[in-house]
Structure 1
Amino acid sequence: MKKRHITVLLLLYFFLSSFFGWAQSALYLDESQPVEVRVKDALSRMTIEEKVALCHAQSKFSSKGVPRLGIPDVWSSDGSHGVSDEKLWDEWNSAQWTNDSCTAFPALTCLAATFNPKIARLYGTSIGEEARYRNKTMLLGPGVNIYRTPLNGRNFEYMGEDPFLASRMVVPYVQGVQSNGVAACVKHFALNNQEIARGEINVNVSDRALHEIYLPAFKAAVQEGNVWSIMGAYNKIWGLHCCHNDILLNQILKNDWKFDGVVVSDWGGVHNTDEAVNGGLDIEMGTYTNGLTTQGHFPFSSYYLADPFLKGIKSGRYEMSKLDDKAGRILRMIFRTTMGANRPYGRFVSPEHSDAARKTAQEGIVLLKNEKQFLPIPEGRYKKIAVIGENAVKSLIVGGGSTSLKAAYEISPLQGLKNKYGESNILYSMGYASGRPLYGAEEPSRLNLDSLQNAAIETARQADIVLFVGGLNKNYFQDCESGDRRSLSLPFGQDKLIEEIQKVNHNVAVVLLSGNAVLMPWLNKTKAVVQGWYLGSEAGNALADIISGEANPSGKLPISFPRKLEDAGAHAFDQLCYPGDGNNVYYKEDILVGYRWYDTKKIPVLFPFGYGLSYTTFQYGKPAVSSKTITAADSLEVTVSIKNTGKVAGKEVVQLYVSDETSSLPRPVKELKGFEKISLEPGEEKTVRFTLTKEDLSYYDDIKKEWIAEPGKFKIMIGASASDIRGTVDFNLK
């Protein structure tokens, strides 16, 4: 009996010794080891089959880890604006969990409108905490595609028309998300600027426009934000799909920019095994779907980077180094996230996240018009306030495609106004009705639209003041993935309704909730206009804060509002410029996107880029430069004083534009190269400082394939918007 016990103990000793010896030698498990050491060690232990399994989906939103080695699966979640609810294993439908209702943050157009990188960091940190709490490896956002046309259905997901603004806002967002051990996934790389024919359209764009307009925000996310993953786009460039495009992914992203993270396909964006293997893709997701719906069941083993890839490796068709590079990148992301050292626990739907959502909304709301200080409306000023419009009660956190959220709560504009002014002081009438969204279409409303309009007009007649809450609504062909808008006008008869209301009540303020510019034929007769974007869970509270004056509006437009659609650069040519012929689209406006186009072509706009009013006023001093002559090796300091000359505290966004007056190549009249948001008490004055470098003065020469800072005369323009320049100063570059 004793000998048996001794034998058992000896076996146990040798087993444990062997186990702990193995564990000790398993460097990939040791969080104290450098990530590259862990990656190399893990790769040495994996079979070919295990490496290939990393490279393709195993469910709608996950790909495999290495269970044998204790390496976890990769779990991703939709949502630049919140963490999406859990989905069924291989369906887009909700899994109907009861514990996955998130905080809805404002859409990224609103975040861009804050012109505040500190808010971007708060936003990224907050949404990263929610993703971490849900144990996500990768958050599929933010989006930084440039606002080329006001018809693009996904513009509300992006950060406006200016590459400098998008670059400065995406970096802190990425850093905030990744501080929680969750990989941000910047999308859609690149040139996903329309939804029409998005899966097939080949974008024809100059190298100069590509590098100056459409790539800078991605480059900043990689080189400054150190983003851990990037999502490819559906469209083509140079005749190749972006999700496996050698020039875009290998040469530019991985070689030139030194990106060491993971390239993941957009769902259904992969089309060919050879190109997927050799074209720079690392993880293939959603194949045999159109990005939103399942087109028949298709085994994951049949994905282009699944069995066909494995067969090609074993036959010698594909180099083993291609597989090791992909697997290594995926492991690197896993070791930075779910197997990272000191990964925090996150938190979910917390009071702090509600505060972050509300602050973002407050700072992003833009006051476009305020005749004779019509706003703010202090409590008690009016006995009867009419709130009219479907958007005052319609949920605007659902719809829109992949950004649709299952939120823990949503304060509607109507509820927020009732909370602020008292329920008895608010009269509500719907006024208009949108239809029920169907995939790729919209079923017209069954409500009687004439009756709705008549009731709204009567409600307006009885009120002291009217707050019309309208705009777009994330239905198909409004602001929604998979379909562009069909018109720049407000839908559902809103323009006519506003004009009829103005006939019976002259005290009308219009609140627009949208992610795109709209026409305003009723503008001259409207006392105030507020651009509210899609504001998330705290929408009603934030709007009520601004309207009541509890918060002073400080948002600035990240997009230009044209007077008519044909004024926009993408619409100034022919159908080949937008939306293309189904096969090709040609960016004929080239580098002149947004305000660059309107300024250079001297086309007046309804509201310019960078524009936004306040309840106070600001006085700009004369700008000064540290030197009148610099070399390319120098930096230039620009200073300007700003004073609050009003009676209330406020925030102003001081904008710096650069004009190259002696360039040998055509350049825009001016380009944004600096902005600073400052807070000032009444009577307070501050000095704002900007630093310009060679990069801020350069253009991309697509003949030489390099950035050029050309000697000559430059002008610094300090403004409150692209069209409101308060001071200029010249300098020379030697």
Structure 2
Amino acid sequence: MRVEDALSRMTLNEKIAVIHAQSKFSAAGVKRLGFPDFWTDDGPHGVRPDVLWDEWEQAGQTNDSCVAFPALTCLAATWNPSLANLYGHSLGEEALYRGKDMILGPGVNIYRTPLGGRNFEYLGEDPYLSSRMVVPYICGLQNMGVAACVKHYALNNDEEYRHQVNVIVDDRTLHEIYLPAFKAAVTEGGAWGIMGAYNLYHNQHNCHNEILLNKILKHDWKFDGVVVSDWGGTHNTDEAVMNGLDMEFGTGTDGLRAGTKNAYENYYMAYPYLMGIREGKYSEKELNDKVRRVLRLYYRTTMNRNRPNGFLCSEAHYAAARKIGDEGVVLLKNDKNVLPVDTLSVHNILVVGENAIKMMTVGGGSSSLKAQKEISPLLGLREALSCHNIKVDYERGYVGDVTGSYNGVTTGQDLNDKRSAAKLIEDAVAKARKADYVILFGGLNKSDYQDCEGHDRKEYGLPYGQDKLVEALAKANKKLVFVNISGNAVAMPWKNKVNAILQGWFVGSESGEVLADIITGKANPSGKLPFTWAASLNDVPAHRLNAYPGKWRADHKIIDEEYKEGLYVGYRGVDKFMTKPLFAFGHGLSYTSFKITNLRADKQEMTRDGKITFTVNVKNTGKREGSEVVQLYINDVKSSLPRPYKELKGFTKVSLNPGESKDVSITIDNASLSYYDDKKSEWVSESGAFKALIGNSSDNIIGEIGFVLR
């Protein structure tokens, strides 16, 4: 009623004004009717600093810093939906304080290749895991009266030439792999916003795509929120009007130009749309639908009388960031239990690597932040070990990117080092021979062609000659720990030569404290990989089948990229092609040990409207408290259509004291057994035999039990 009443009072000019930007990050309200301006801002890892009205450079404010939360790959690695809710809630409080009505996030695009530049912003390779993690994030954020804008819908798996890539994918793969997290965000999370992607599908850009927006999102899923264009993702008025776009941002007419009164009025859904209506080219039917959605968004956010208060950089937010980081760091390898560091017998530790000192909150694209603080791994370790009288020395080891600025935010670090690559290694090795431990912080950074928006990685190997450094240090010291700072997997040809490997992600403000927590044993690692860590690019299905990158058309305007691997992304491809990953999806070690036994089901048969519950006993057989993730995969014994050997359909994280055991139950229903029938355009399940596979990683199945669907 309130929406219809407001709509009836609006003039045509006012309707047009609310569906496009008036500045880099805001849209005009309706002042005459009491609707304030609507302010968006980038996420998803923190609230981006304010930029000038018409430019990307910083506005020069002093109160727009934030807490930098761990990147979403780290959140996904927690396998803990309650932390996703805490993440969204904390981010929502910061957004409210900063006067933001919509956060442009979270991101749920599928990890298809480890070369993807924005993989660090997403939730991994599995549609089920991504779905379970995105819903509580949205709920936590929107419960604060701040809209989530889930991105990038859909099939946005390339950064290089991202405006030109036309994805060719079969309907089964689209619905089973690339859409489930978006669907969950809408139908379960109740997302108020969806951001269209830059790329094309069926030769239409996804910010105004008839199939993705009108048919699937708005018709099939009954989405009642707004579709927001990615910044610069709108390309023509006709498609924008007719194919489901509701709010247009970032189109290339930004900035006041000579002879132009207001460049934002030249947007595709601004003056051209207005004139099209006046000239009879368009009716107001589509416009009114767009405006209804925008008004509904206002009532959910800016006009919400029950909106709570915001907080910025609070103790609780830093605690949340640290807790998420502690649970997200993954212990990939730990030979001879070299970790945690034995503080009673160790006297000196050598820290090596640029990533031990380089700030990672600045850079990487739109998720770049102006963090109030960022504790480096080196500083975090020194503070954690100072009370144990352990000396922590440092050597650079390699020089990567010495710059430290993005859109006017600078780190203030001087990372220049004039030593040659050989001298850097020589100096590190000399100290390594005398140290009790060597901890090398390497990996990637937020520079172009690494973990960064706008470009994809050019190679799977580590940059800056790090492999040579690892090999040299491994010869010099028997207790070498490699901490990989990245949002992506990397090649590790030296894996068997190092004692321990940690996946440290981009942890944000609390990086130093989190990594020190894990290395010293203050926190027991419980993270599990949200993607498959391939041994080589040839083991990644998209690369194995020469399906990445795509191929330019003859006119060199569009790249066609066919997803030839279909359903077989990540661990599904491991089973299909019988490859052996470096580290499997779902893999992650602990400083304690667990035993999973006594798998049973509450019934042997399930009807289509019923459920079945599987239970196992999990016991902590080690000497310290820890958490294990029980993972349930389903195998369709005989299907009329090809299906992956196993698919994740449930998981539970359980915390146990030494010697403690608990029963853990996971319940599935008919949806867990269904696949998308592209001939019927619907989800179907087939009667017959299935298996439930239980384990603590995709390559460590400890038990299976059969059941029948009737």
Match of 1:275 among 209, 217, 239: 239
Offset, 1:655: 0.2
Question: More deviation in 154-163 or 581-590?
Answer: 581-590
Q: Does 1:170 align with 2:170?
A: no
Provide the rounded CA distance (Å) in 2 between the counterparts of 1:79 and 1:145.
Answer: 15
Offset, 1:622: 2.4
Classify 1:379/1:424 alpha carbon distance in 2 versus 1 (closer, same or farther; 3 Å).
Answer: closer
Provide the rounded CA distance (Å) in 1 between the counterparts of 2:397 and 2:521.
Answer: 26
Match of 2:215 among 251, 276, 293: 251
Question: More deviation in 388-397 or 319-328?
Answer: 319-328
Correspondence for 2:29: 65
Deviation per CA, 1:539-578: give whole Å up to 9, x if none: 110111111111100000001111110110110122x542
Q: Which amino acid aligns with 1:217?
A: A
Provide the rounded CA distance (Å) in 1 between the counterparts of 2:444 and 2:18.
Answer: 41
Residue 418 of structure 1: SS of its match in structure 2? helix
Correspondence for 2:655: 679
Deviation per CA, 1:248-286: give whole Å up to 9, x if none: 101100110000001000000000000000010011000
Residue 269 of structure 1: SS of its match in structure 2? coil
Residue 219 of structure 2: SS of its match in structure 1? helix
**Kept after mapping to 2: 8 A contact 1:144/1:166:** yes
Q: Does 1:464 align with 2:436?
A: yes
Unpaired runs of 5+ in structure 1? 1-36
Q: Does 1:521 align with 2:485?
A: no
Provide the rounded CA distance (Å) in 2 between the counterparts of 1:644 and 1:214.
Answer: 36
Q: Which amino acid aligns with 1:649?
A: E
Correspondence for 1:726: 702
Question: More deviation in 350-359 or 37-46?
Answer: 37-46
**Kept after mapping to 1: 8 A contact 2:633/2:649:** yes
CA RMSD of the aligned region, Å? 1.7
Q: Does 1:301 align with 2:301?
A: no
Matches of residues 106-125 of structure 1 in structure 2 within 5 Å? 106-125=70-89
Match of 1:286 among 244, 250, 256: 250
Provide the rounded CA distance (Å) in 2 between the counterparts of 1:133 and 1:534.
Answer: 24
Q: Does 1:432 align with 2:398?
A: yes
Q: Does 1:94 align with 2:58?
A: yes
Q: Does 1:239 align with 2:203?
A: yes
Offset, 1:379: 2.6
Deviation per CA, 1:490-517: give whole Å up to 9, x if none: 1001111010111211110000010000
Offset, 1:424: 6.2
Q: Does 1:573 align with 2:545?
A: yes
Provide the rounded CA distance (Å) in 1 between the counterparts of 2:462 and 2:176.
Answer: 32
Provide the rounded CA distance (Å) in 2 between the counterparts of 1:682 and 1:50.
Answer: 64
Offset, 1:701: 0.7
> When the two structures are superposed, what TM-score results if normalisation uses the length of structure 2?
0.95
Provide the rounded CA distance (Å) in 2 between the counterparts of 1:43 and 1:175.
Answer: 28
Offset, 1:92: 1.1
Correspondence for 2:411: none
Correspondence for 1:499: 471
Provide the rounded CA distance (Å) in 2 between the counterparts of 1:175 and 1:701.
Answer: 31
Provide the rounded CA distance (Å) in 1 between the counterparts of 2:44 and 2:406.
Answer: 21
Residue 213 of structure 2: SS of its match in structure 1? helix
**Kept after mapping to 2: 8 A contact 1:366/1:556:** yes
Residue 309 of structure 2: SS of its match in structure 1? coil
Provide the rounded CA distance (Å) in 2 between the counterparts of 1:396 and 1:464.
Answer: 28
Matches of residues 324-335 of structure 1 in structure 2 within 5 Å? 324-335=288-299
Q: Which amino acid aligns with 2:519?
A: I
Residue 114 of structure 2: SS of its match in structure 1? coil
Provide the rounded CA distance (Å) in 2 between the counterparts of 1:716 and 1:295.
Answer: 63
Provide the rounded CA distance (Å) in 1 between the counterparts of 2:402 and 2:443.
Answer: 16
Match of 1:418 among 382, 391, 394: 382
Deviation per CA, 1:113-156: give whole Å up to 9, x if none: 00000010001100011001111110000000000000000000
Offset, 1:471: 0.6
Classify 1:257/1:680 alpha carbon distance in 2 versus 1 (closer, same or farther; 3 Å).
Answer: same
Question: More deviation in 376-385 or 651-660?
Answer: 376-385
Residue 692 of structure 1: SS of its match in structure 2? strand
Residue 561 of structure 1: SS of its match in structure 2? coil
**Kept after mapping to 1: 8 A contact 2:257/2:263:** no
**Kept after mapping to 2: 8 A contact 1:577/1:588:** no
Deviation per CA, 1:460-482: give whole Å up to 9, x if none: 12211100001100111110001
Total equivalences in the alignment: 692
Classify 1:678/1:439 alpha carbon distance in 2 versus 1 (closer, same or farther; 3 Å).
Answer: closer
Residue 608 of structure 2: SS of its match in structure 1? coil
Match of 1:613 among 589, 592, 599: 589
Q: Which amino acid aligns with 1:563?
A: A
Matches of residues 521-670 of structure 1 in structure 2 within 5 Å? 521-574=493-546, 576-581=547-552, 583-670=559-646
**Kept after mapping to 1: 8 A contact 2:256/2:263:** no
**Kept after mapping to 2: 8 A contact 1:392/1:469:** yes
Offset, 1:717: 0.3
Provide the rounded CA distance (Å) in 2 between the counterparts of 1:253 and 1:148.
Answer: 22
**Kept after mapping to 2: 8 A contact 1:202/1:583:** yes
Unpaired runs of 5+ in structure 2? 408-414, 553-557
Provide the rounded CA distance (Å) in 2 between the counterparts of 1:543 and 1:577.
Answer: 34
Correspondence for 1:14: none
Offset, 1:436: 4.7
**Kept after mapping to 1: 8 A contact 2:253/2:267:** no
Q: Which amino acid aligns with 2:201?
A: I
Residue 290 of structure 2: SS of its match in structure 1? helix
**Kept after mapping to 2: 8 A contact 1:192/1:235:** yes
Offset, 1:341: 2.5
Correspondence for 2:226: 262
**Kept after mapping to 2: 8 A contact 1:439/1:476:** no
Offset, 1:451: 2.5
Correspondence for 2:303: 339
Q: Does 1:688 align with 2:652?
A: no
Provide the rounded CA distance (Å) in 2 between the counterparts of 1:445 and 1:454.
Answer: 18
**Kept after mapping to 1: 8 A contact 2:368/2:406:** no
Provide the rounded CA distance (Å) in 1 between the counterparts of 2:597 and 2:253.
Answer: 57
